[in-house]
Amino acid sequence: MLFWQCSKPDKAHTSRKVYITEADGRYTIIRNGKPFKLKGGGGYSHFSDLRNAGGNTMRTWDTTHLDRILDSAEVNGIAIIAGLPLPNSNELKLYNDPAVVKARLERFQTLIRKYRSHPALLMWCVGNELDFPYKLTYKRFYESFNALTNMIHREDPDHPVTTTVLNFNQKYIFNIRLRCDIDVISFNVFNSLHAFRKDLRGFAWFWSGPYMLLEWGINGPWQGSDYTAWGAYIEDTSKKKAEIYKNRYRTEMPLEDPRYLGSCVFFWGHKQETTHTWFSIFDETGAASETLATMQYLWTGTTSKIRYPDVKYMLLNKKGAKDNIMLNPAATASAEVLMSSGIKDIKSIKWQVFREDWYRENNKNSTAKLVPLITSTGPASSMKITFTSPREEGPYRIFATIYNHAGNFASCNTPFYIVGTP
């Protein structure tokens, strides 16, 4: 069944565990015989936090520890959209070699058979942000992609198949419709979510099927975000991020659209991507940021009573991130964090200095964990720190992570540049 051709299901169709139905232009996920509105996060952990916040779905990007993930999700009443990682279409050597394609299909077939009956499974997501080009050069890519989706439909008719497109790309949607067989299309949209409704309306003449947003959130470290004179992207404080999540969901998410099946906020966990705090809703110890309370409010309408550190901003040598701060090597510098509500509820603050992470592979931000050059942890009275700047010329960041007595955190950071002597 093609994703733009959903219709009233017949009796055989309704026997499936999960399917998508349409009535008068409104699409609905039916799971175990009941309507299911997707409210989720992208990640691999913190299932109980997701459940307690009112979420019901976790989206993954690969099958690492999928058995553990599915079992943990089941215990917490969470459904899983399981990602099946694929090389992008431009990696033609991985699609033009029949032996490679056959081996990949067989591995996925074994995996599908293993997990297709798991009660926590909701859908399969084939690839992430794949390109769907038009040229005949990519014939083998489409053959391999369709062989995989056909195999899933045959081996596991109980669970729909989706794939994700980065932003709203009309060309890719066109090619998916003409050349692929999936049940629902999904999008990853961040900075351009404000234009998403308009994009949908403008292309409805060609495609009016159901959709999900499997990644959405704050502006990322890419085009559209503020950056310094040397190209370091400027990260908002965790407080500001929580406000952006709230405003973006309420004003830009097409919640009223009858084609909209739900969304997954990014990132439900802790990850390194340009910085270790940019997308992390939780820290490496499992402590939560204010975004957790924001998502609870958005999903349930209930305001959390849990308090979070109310960070305002950071200054480095009395300057902000947009001031393009440059320091001399091995010089004395000072940083301070200002709080909107004082430090009465603050337990501790951790200061760290890292080299700027510039590494890119396949034009994607690095996810390798960095080692801090400086780490200093102190009590609430340590909202100011004096340190010696690095000796080596180049870009750096200073981070502050503030914890309150409830065990929650707030974060902020400021990029700076060490200017070598001429």
Residue 194 class from Cβ within 10 Å (0-12 exposed, 13-18 middle, 19+ buried)?
exposed
> Nearest CA to 116 among 68, 77, 67?
67
Tell me the C-alpha distance between 170 and 174, whole Å.
6
Tell me the C-alpha distance between 128 and 126, whole Å.
7
> Nearest CA to 158 among 140, 135, 183?
183
The predicted-structure confidence for 381-409, as pLDDT tens digits, reads as follows: 899 999 999 999 999 999 999 999 999 99
Using the predicted structure, report yes or no on whether residue 83 has a pLDDT greater than 70: yes
Using the predicted structure, report yes or no on whether residue 366 has a pLDDT greater than 90: no
Total length of the chain: 422
Query: What's residue 15's pLDDT?
Result: 79
Query: What's residue 4's pLDDT?
Result: 47
The torsion defined by the Cα of 264, 265, 270 and 271, in degrees rounded to 10, comes to 90
In the chain, the percentage of residues whose pLDDT exceeds 90 is: 90
pTM: 0.94
Instruction: Give the pLDDT band (50/70/90) at residue 362.
Output: low
Query: What's residue 175's pLDDT?
Result: 97
Q: 302, 279 in Cβ contact below 8 A? A: no
Q: 312, 339 in Cβ contact below 8 A? A: yes
Strand partners, 273: 275
Query: What's residue 12's pLDDT?
Result: 52
Query: What's residue 359's pLDDT?
Result: 67
The predicted-structure confidence for 109-165, as pLDDT tens digits, reads as follows: 999 999 999 999 999 999 999 999 999 999 999 999 999 999 999 999 999 999 999
